[in-house]
Amino acid sequence: MKKDLVILGAQWGDEGKGKVVDLLSADFDMVVRYQGGSNAGHTVMVGGEKFVLHLLPTGILHEQAIGVVAQGMVVDLELLVKEIEELEKKGLKVWDRIYISDRAHIVLPYHKVLDSLFEKKGKIGTTLRGIGPSYMFKYGRKGIRVCDLEDPDRTYQLIKENIEFVSDLCEKVYCENHRLDAQEVFEKTMEHYKRVKERVIDTTRLILDFRGRVLFEGAQGTMLDIDMGTYPYVTSSNASALGLSNGTGLPPKYFSEANFWAVSKAYTTRVGEGPFPTELKDATGELLRERGGEYGATTGRPRRCGWLDLVALKHAVEVNGLDGIIITKLDVLDAFEEIKVCVAYEVNGKRIDHFPASLSLLQRVKPVYKTFKGWLKDTRGARSLSTMPSEALEYIDFIQEYLKVPVVMLSTGPEREEYFWLYEPAWK
């Protein structure tokens, strides 16, 4: 049976999806990115060499896989060309394996101008890659799709109108001058388009007609989902499973047989602003950051760190209909005498077991913790269950019992081979 796989982020992004997708995609014939854009930063270590992918599906590092940049993405063509070229320089053939959706929207310099401007009032802590404004233009029906670039006159007209609109907004509302040159933006856009043009197709049809196994790679994480995350401190796409259908153009039924897995760290991190109930602003949080190397792959910003939040993780299990969880970076906890896990929230003495929608409520919740004894043993690079300390297994058992979903795999280091299965899937 053709069993497709969906890999999602269960937290606020940066869960280690890059590494997990990289090692799993060895078994897949097609790898698909379908939401977000260059805000993502998927880091993979192969043989000591570091690869950071922003727009391409991570699975493209496996040469048997066809890569798809699907319609739900907002694509910065300049960065896409650069990313492909960099991989080609490292000896990977990408141009003849990558397909770009004709329906994907493109990110243009005026989106980035707006991203910076919006950040000055009501900071979200975005990656400044123009993601939110690109989706604003898409849903405001002022966006430019890849297929539109086939009509240069129309493209020029749209760019000109959009630049006029953005410039007026900058001047009249923000009292700033950011008048971009429409002709220059147009020419550069067409230059980048020429580079990718041969690879542009209807990717929905491509996937529908494909007979091999497909891996769908979510970017960011469920808690950053525009509808199900900590709105407004979220990204501007459906980073949960909700984004699969609109992001690919495939009917929801297409995914009925797929496996849905999500990746979670053994603790929690987030970058940017917004609620984070288990955040630790003390030496323990600092130790997590240092041991985990918690600095953004796209922006280099230090990540906020805290204990594992099972209320949020349960939300991810429910929203995504998860079949399994993959836990990464358990070894970061090796140095802690005590490890805490949030099992509920409390507000004014009232216990809350479900992740609330309300921002003001989320800002007031206090985590209720269960405390575990740390294992104080080195688990980095562990390759089997039998070598794991019993305290670490107790921690993992508790997570799966709470979530009622199996932990299928443990990732124990950044290199491809540093992992082991707890429940090996049937296809292995």
Query: Which strands sit side by side in the sheet containing 98-101, from one edge to the other?
Result: 200-201, 98-101, 66-69, 30-33, 214-217, 5-9, 259-265, 324-328, 407-411, 419-421
* Residue 164 token pair: 């006029």
Nearest CB to ligand IMP, comparing residues 39 and 162: 39
Nearer to ligand IMP, 136 or 422 (CB): 136
Query: How far, in Å, CA of 405 to CA of 189, rounded?
Result: 46
In terms of CB distance, is 55 or 333 closer to ligand IMP? Answer: 55
The secondary structure element, H or E, covering residue 51 is strand 49-53
Q: CB-wise, 219 or 342, nearer to ligand IMP?
A: 219
Residue of 244, 250, 243 lying closest to 226 (CA atoms): 243
Are 278 and 308 in contact by the 8 Å Cβ rule? The answer is yes
E strand intervals along 193-310:
200-201, 214-217, 259-265, 268-270, 304-306, 308-309
d(C-alpha 120, C-alpha 148), whole Å: 32
Please identify, using beta-carbon distances, which residue of 236 and 412 lies nearer to ligand IMP. Answer: 236
Helix (H, G, I), strand (E, B) or coil at 337: coil
DSSP state of 140: T
CB of 302 to ligand IMP, least distance (A): 12
Q: Which of 308, 297, 304, 310 is nearest to 330 (CA)?
A: 308
> Between 127 and 167, whose beta carbon lies closer to ligand IMP?
127
Which residues are known to be catalytic?
Answer: 14, 42
Output the smallest distance, CB 237 to ligand IMP, in A: 8
- In whole angstroms, the minimum distance from the beta carbon of 229 to ligand IMP comes to 9
Tokens of 412: 């124990």
Do 318 and 222 meet the contact criterion of CB atoms below 8 Å apart? Answer: no
Minimum Å gap between C-beta 123 and ligand IMP is: 10
Q: Can you read off the two tokens belonging to residue 262?
A: 């999500």
Distance CA 148, CA 145 (A): 5
Closer to ligand IMP by CB, 40 or 106: give it: 40
Q: Where are the beta strands (DSSP E) in 54-176?
A: 66-69, 74-75, 98-101, 105-106
CA pair distance 245, 108, nearest whole angstrom? 25
Q: Nearest approach, Cβ of 88 to ligand IMP (angstroms)?
A: 24
Ranges of beta strands (E only) in 84-205 are 98-101, 105-106, 200-201
Q: Shortest distance, CB of residue 215 to ligand IMP, whole angstroms?
A: 18
Rounded to a whole number of angstroms, the minimum distance from the CB of residue 298 to ligand IMP is 6
The alpha carbon of 179 is separated from its chain's Cα centroid by a whole number of angstroms, namely: 32
Closest separation in Å from C-beta 9 to ligand IMP: 8
- Of the pair 77, 107, the CB lying nearest ligand IMP is at 107
Kindly list the residues in this chain that would bind ligand IMP in the complex (CB under 6 A). Answer: 13-14, 39-41, 124-127, 129, 131-132, 219-220, 224, 235-236, 271-272
